[in-house]
Every structure is written in C-alpha cells, then in structure tokens.
Copies of this chain bind each other. A is one copy, B any other.
C-alpha cells in the first residue's frame, strides 16, 4: 500500500469508496514556511484520565479520555520537532465568558479549564488565539498574524478532529494555506468521526501524515533550504 493510503481510516472505508477517491492520490508535502497550530489542548479535554470516553463523559462531559491521553507523547514530540527548527507555535483555546463583563479577571483566576494542558505549556513568544467558534480563523485575528509572519502552511494537531480541527483545516484551505495534519496528534471523542474526518480532509483539503512522515519532511527541508 502506498504511503498516501496508510492511515487509520482503512478499516471503515470500503473498496468502492477507495476506488472513487483513487484520483486524489498525490505527492504530499509541507510548505516552505509552516507554523504549528495546536488546537484546543486545554485541561477540560484530559479530565477523568486515560479511560474510555464512554466512561469519562459520565462525570466529565467535555473529556476525550483515552484518545486525549494517547496523543500526549506524540504531541510533545511534534512540539519538540517544531521548536528545534524555529517553526512558530500557535495555540488556540476557547473563550468561556463570552460577555466578558467586569468580573472577567476573577473568573479567569478561579477557573483554569480552558488553560493549555501543562504537558504543552506555551512559551512567552508563542501566540495564543482565543476563539468562540469551531474554526481558529472565525472571529479571531489569526489570518493577520499568519500574513505578518509570512506563513504559507500549517501543521495542525489537537482536537476534535471532526470539530475544531476540521473546521480550521477547511478554512486554512479556503484562505490559501497548505495544511498538514499530524495523525497521531489529533483526536476526537467519536472514533468513526475521527477516522472519516481524516479521510475527508486528506482527500479534499489537507495532507494527513503520520508523525514519522512529518519528521521526514521537516528533515528533508533542512537539507534543501
């Protein structure tokens, strides 16, 4: 099987659909000036620990349980790959108190649910995008930062695959950016939604790559440039 086809969705896509999508097969790549976009890796998603989602949601309705925790190590590796190569890091998180009245500061102090998880702690120069909708582009100045930084492509990870990751990758394509999605660093509460969203994204809007492929492409770039 070609590299293009070796992905987690293989068991849920039947042979007819694979045949229909055959013409999309192509050479994948990372752009010349990528940024790493880490979507919604906030504390809420890890609540309840590394247990099946069905179990953790009983007490933690926003948790992705085992899927979140399985992605911790690969995501740390991806962050490390990016930091070593001076690839800028952009984190997103949700804005919780949308009316942001005068009691905003106190709320923030008391509640760290939407703080980035400590495994991926942002550094002072990283950009943090606070959003109220699924896509990191909607209702945020993300496009302005990308333009000013001369970014031409995104390496995307985080959650949920079928929610904020997909919405952001579709918008990135619309805005003219090439996107790569790091497969092991992306997760969802629903496995079928995760797999089929990655399948859809890979064929229409982005290059889904394993962490090893991302690393190989980045290493190749260091030789070439």
Contacts and interface: CB of A to CB of B under 8 A. Distances in A.
Interface in A168-217: 170-171, 173-177, 189-193, 196-197, 199-200, 204-205
Most buried by B among A133, A140, A146, A190: A190
Most buried by B among A125, A133, A145: A133
Contact of A54 (B13, B19, B124, B127): B19
A139 B100 CA distance: 16
Contact of A135 (B12, B174, B189): B174
A14 B196 CA distance: 14
Contact of A197 (B124, B134, B200): B200
Contact of A174 (B16, B134, B191): B134
B99 A13 contact: no
- What 5 pairs across the A-B complex have the smallest Cβ distances? A139-B141, A147-B176, A148-B176, A144-B176, A196-B196
